[in-house]
Structure formats: structure tokens, C-alpha cells
Chains A and B, each alone.
Chain A
Amino acid sequence: MKHKILVGILACGLILFLYTGVQTDTEPKHLVDPQPVLQRSDSIVAPSQLLEADPASGASNSTLTHLKTRARLKERLVSEGFRSGTGLRSGFENDAEEWKFVQTLGPADEDELLAMLLEQNSLSNRVQFHRMLTQCGGDKAAQVIIDTIKSQTGRFGNPAEDHNYYALHGCLNALGPISTRSEIARRFLREAADEEYWKLNRQHKATEYIEPHENRYLASESIKALARGGHPEAMELINTMRQWQPQRAKLWAGALVDAVFEYEVALRGDSVRIGFIDEFTEFLAWGKTDTGRKWKQWSAEMRMLAD
């Protein structure tokens, strides 16, 4: 008898769950997950595994069940006027529209986002998905992005023409907010914040006049991303680097100032949002605060040092 009651309760619960799931299909705003879910997992999912999880290529039962209960992400994106394949430019009409949509994303969207990301035939066309993953990506997203960074080979062209170059740097940037949910991302960024890491591991080459600086640029991007994740170790690193010999610190000053700004943004809980608003205006406003003034003053002094 007890078993029958239990089964009955479970059945009711299942029906209720499915019902509410269907309801949310038509009301995307109910899908908003305001609290970033901290999913820390040591399991690494290879891109190939993610593709296998795609319903079209034979997904697991649990994934299929989940996808059946909510509108496909692709359909939601289409209904919002999103266009893929727009390179470094967002597929949404404006920042506000993009941010509105991104806020509806939750951890459950990660798989489908990654599947869509992997469908893109160029690095630059993946950027828009990297940006969305800053809201909901966890370890899986982190691993895909890190693999992407590590697997780049060959020489990139001039950044003004070869947008894949900046897309690669954007990968690091995206790892910042993801690192709040992914230890994999945090660990990688901490390593990558050291120029030496890139000297040892970088396989790709930048265009000729950027190549001598590429390791520094990649490390700078990693420092900024680490700061954007709000990790205290980022500030420790920044403060250490500020104490370097001026001629050495000079080359990093701009990135460090940006990183301090990103860190303060993260502390107020805006590490994702900052990617979808006019961050430069925020940066200018920050530059008028005590902290901002101090750092900008230092950077200006570094800039004026003779070569």
C-alpha cells in the first residue's frame, strides 16, 4: 500500500514537472536562472562526447528527456531574431536584446550551446556562443574552449582582417565568468596568466608585427579574465606585477588597469553583465573613482617612461 502511495506521489510529481516544463516553453522569461549555478566537476567532457549527446546524433535518455521539456535553444534564439555566423559582431540587434536573452540561459542550456558552437565553421563565428556561455557555461564549456585555444596552429593574419585572431583572444576572455563555475577554467587561467606558459605551449603564430608580443597579449587576456572571475589570486598577481621593474611593468600597465577594473566589476556581481553593456563608459566612470584614478595615474606614469 505504501508503495502504491509513493508511486502515486511520484507520478503526480512527474506530471506536474512535465506540465510546468511545457508551460515554460512558451514563457522563456520563466527560464531565468538568476543565480549562477556553481557546478564544479572534475569530469572533462570532450567535444566529441558533447556531439554524441546531441539528440540528432543519439543523445542519452536523460538529455533527451530534458530537451523534450523545454523549447530547443535554437528555436528560442530564432524567435529572438538571433543570427549566427556574424563573426565578432553579436547576432542580436543590440546589447540590450542580447543581454535580455542571455539572462534566460541556465546550466541546462550549456550542452545545446556547445553543440551549436561546434557547428560553426570558424573561430570568429563561435564568439557569440562564447559570450552566451559566460552566463551558463561550466566545466564542459571550459574544456571545449581550452581545447580550442590549445589546438590552434598556423599563423593568424592582421587582426583588422583576420577576425579569428581576436576570436582566439576572446576565448580567454570568456573563460573569466565561466571560471566562477568551473575550476578547470580557473586553473587554466591562472597558468595562462604567466607569459612563460605561452612560450612553452603556444602552437599558433600571430601576424609578423604582433608575433613578438603575442605571448604577452595572451597572458594579459588571461589576467583580465582571471580578474573578471573575481578570484583574489588575480589581484595578488596584479599587485605583484605592479612591483616589477618599471621598464618591464610598463608593457603590462594597460592590461593591469583593465584587470583591476574587471576585478571590481566582478566583486559587485557584474562579471557576466559587463560583457553585454557599454563597458567602456563604465570604465571611464571607474577611472574617476579613487581606485581608478590611482591605477590610471600609475599607468600614465609607466606610459611616459622612455623606451
Chain B
Amino acid sequence: MPACPPARLPLGDCGFRYLPELILLLLLGLMPRHLLAQVPRQTQLWVLKKEFGSTNEIRINNSSPEITIVTLNENQAGPQTEVVGEQKKTTKRSSQYNNIYGLTDYTYWWKYLPETQGFTGMMGGLYRDDVIPYIFHQRKPVTCGWIKANATIDTGAELKKTRADTKIMLRHTSAYGSEKRGVRIAVTAYYYDWVTGSGWVPAGIIPPDQITVLDQRLDCNGQVILKLGSGDFEVTPAVSGNYSFYEFVVTATPARDHHRTWSYHPYLKVGGSVPFKPVDRFNLFYLTENDGCICDSDPRLDTSTGLSNLIDFDSVPVAAELFVYDATKIVFPKPFDSISNPDYCNIVNMEHADALLDAPFADIKMVQSMYWNSKWKDGRAQVLGNNIIITKNAPSNVLMHELGHNLGLDHRNSSTANLMHERGPSTAWEINRAERVAFER
């Protein structure tokens, strides 16, 4: 019998070596959804297929479609690669996982292709035998590099089309079941030029507005926020423009998830007007805004230049979501629960609002209405806390506005399009860079 790993020795028997895992799985199964959400998500980014070949039947030696499947498990110790070809090498980029916030910095693998292959062909009077691998070999991108190339090479004798095609897939198995989640995909694409005598050399970065992922154009910061359900998605960037060879650096990060429990005044149900069934998830909200005007790298955003007003006024996309779950007490408990006395259903005293806000039975309390000092209120929230009061007819952006207060944000009245405007309409969703930090923190 093999020796038990030290960590499992307390169990006393190697037959129970997987008992902790089994217990963990059992606990996960019983765990409430909002706790389950803290479990690392299984979003994976991997390269599905890598093919080298030519379309004119001139076979490259050892060039039968080379299929490399790299499954990138979070926190994995080593690559799982299956490479056809003898000469190979892998290097790894750092990987981090934040169990608290679920932010994932994916691990990418860079593979050197065989330095030489048996194919020879004439190009520009020169014999080249490793056109595509040469790029990889000569350039060692700092991060990931998977090539997608479409090249027409004129050998002088005949036209050869050489193609290398890499599909980049995103496997998304959300811990939220079938609920769609936001995933931020960032792409940097480098293009290469052919220089006689030097081969393919890097020539620059392809502008983000020439790149789409799942038909959505990248913003000026080279990213796009997609809303995806569970499943496999091809996220291979599509490049427009005339580029012979290029390579990508692709990263994927789940949107920051916020969690709140909710409860409602019992009269809402008596009146038949509870907007959501008690067992339902309340909603999923998804913020994104992209005017594509000012990039994060814009020098005007440098606070030392004195033009940092742009930081305040320019709206930016944000990947943040709010998941609302039923509280243990889905209807207000005593002393807030009276159906015969609507003091905590139609709130007209600040003292009542304050008491309800402080009550610990749920994070979000839904009431019929709030009105005092001749002013209608859609919601109230603790600053830097978890608690929110919201009226049942409040637009969805009000809940995110109040969440902003929970995250420490104040009102920002520079435009009624701002999410944090004190009286913004239901279409007010824009946030600036400082607010993005709060929402994604």
C-alpha cells in the first residue's frame, strides 16, 4: 500500500484518502446559492485546435494537422498539453486566484513550435522552410501567443496558401447555473510584417476597433464585456483589415459579483403585488457602457496634467453584477411585519426608514413607497454597508445606484445619465473610472 500523503495521515487509513473531497462535495451540494457563489468559478479559456496546413496539396512534412488541446484549469500545477512533434517547449505565465472575489487571472501557455520542418519552398527567391514556426521561434511574446494567420506566399513558381488557424474557446460553467454572467475578454493583437532577410517581424498592435469577439467590437481599451450562459463559446478574435500574420493575447475575467439578500413587506403580497416569487432569484443586473472615446492609457487621464476632470466625467464600461437571493425571512419579521399598520410599508418617517435599514433580517428591504419632506424616494442605502431599502416600482438602475452607495459611492450630478445621479431617470447607467473601481473592487 502506498504511503499516505502527510496531509491525510490523521484519517489513519489511506482508504479514506478522498474522504475530505467527498465531504466537501457534499457540503457544496447543500450550500445555499449565495455561498456557493464564492466557490471558484470554472471559467476556462483554452485553445481548442491548432492547425497547420496548406490548401494546395503541398504537404508540409510532419504537418498533419497538429492538434493541441490545452485545458487550462485554474490553479493547475502544470500544463496538460498534447503536442504532435518532437521539439516542444512550454513556459507558463503566473497564475493567481482570488478566492474572495472570484477574480481569475488565467494561466496561459506558450508553446514553441518545432524549429524546423521538412517543408521547403521558394519565396521571393529564398528558400524558406519554417515560415510560420519562424515567427514563434524568433519572437517570444511575453504573454500568450497563439497564431492565427492567413498568408498568401508567392514562391515564384506557384501560389501557395498557408494557413494556420487557432480557435480560442471559452468554457463557461457558471456557478449561477443557467443564469448568464458577465465575462470581460481582453485582447491584444500584434501583427507581423515580412521583411526580406529578416523574416516575419513584429510591426505593431492592431487597433482594437478592428477586432471583434463574438461579433462585439472591442472598446478602445481592447476589451469587451460579454454576457454568457453556461457552455463553450468560441472567442477567437476576428480581425478586419489587411494583416498577413498576427497573434493574440487573450484574457478572460468574470464580472465582479455582488450578493444581497432581500425581503419584502407582507402587505406587498397581500396586495398581490410582489414583483418576484419568493423562491426566485431576484434579478441579475449587468452594467456596461462604452463610448469608446477615452482610453485608459490616454495621457489626459494623468492627474499630474491637471486635466483629470476626464476621470470624473468620462463614462466607462464596468463588469459588475448584483445577485439577489431570498433572505431567510422573505417577508419582514416583527416588528416590521404588521399588515394592519402600514408604517413600514408606506414609509413617511425617516425614523422608520432608519430602523428598517438597520434591521439585520435582510440586506434589501422592499416596501411600497417612501415619501417625506415633499420628496418621493425610490431607494435608500447605507454608505459602506450592505443595507438597502427600495420601493417595489423602482427601476432596476435604482438598485444598482443604491449598491453604489453600499460600496462607498456618493452622488454625482454632472449628468442625468450618471448611475449615481441623485435623480437620474431609469436610463441612467453611466459610471466613471472611480466608480468602476468601487463596483469591481
Contacts and interface: CB of A to CB of B under 8 A. Distances in A.
Interface of A: 87-90, 93-96, 127, 130-131, 158-160, 163, 166, 169-170, 173-174, 209-210, 212-213, 217, 220-221, 251, 253-255, 257-258, 261, 274-275, 278-280, 283-284, 287, 296, 299-300, 303-304, 307
Contacts of A88: 371, 374-376
Contacts of A283: 350-351, 354
Contact of A299 (B339, B348, B351): B351
B348 to A, nearest CB: 7
B141 to A, nearest CB: 49
B267 to A, nearest CB: 7
Contacts of B369: 159-160, 166
Interface in B348-380: 348-355, 368-369, 371-377, 380
Nearest to A300: B355
B179 interface: no
Contacts of A166: 369, 371, 376
A122 B235 CA distance: 55
A87 B351 CA distance: 25
Contacts of A257: 349-351
B259 interface: no
Interface residues of B, number: 37
A134 to B, nearest CB: 8
26 contacts: A94-B421, A94-B423, A95-B423, A127-B374, A160-B346, A160-B368, A163-B376, A170-B371, A170-B374, A173-B372, A173-B373, A210-B342, A212-B340, A213-B343, A254-B351, A274-B373, A275-B373, A278-B422, A279-B372, A279-B373, A280-B377, A283-B354, A284-B354, A296-B354, A300-B355, A307-B338
Contact of B350 (A127, A251, A279): A279
Contact of B349 (A130, A212, A254): A254
Contacts, number: 109
Contact of B376 (A89, A212, A274, A307): A89
Contacts of A209: 267, 271, 339-340, 342
Interface string B67-109: 0000000000000000000000000000000000000000000
B341 interface: yes
Nearest to B392: A160
Interface in B119-166: none
B335 to A, nearest CB: 5
B396 interface: no
A280 B353 contact: yes
B374 A159 contact: no
Interface string B278-295: 000000000000000000
B426 to A, nearest CB: 12
A303 B374 contact: no
A167 B320 CA distance: 37
Interface in B398-429: 411, 413, 416, 421-423
Contact of B348 (A89, A127, A217, A284): A217
A214 to B, nearest CB: 10
A98 to B, nearest CB: 10
Given A160-B393, A166-B369, A254-B349, A93 B374 contact: no
Contacts of B261: none
A96 B375 contact: no
A215 B391 CA distance: 24
Contacts of A303: 335, 355
Contacts of A300: 355
Contacts of A213: 341-343
Contacts of A163: 376
B368 to A, nearest CB: 5
B387 to A, nearest CB: 12
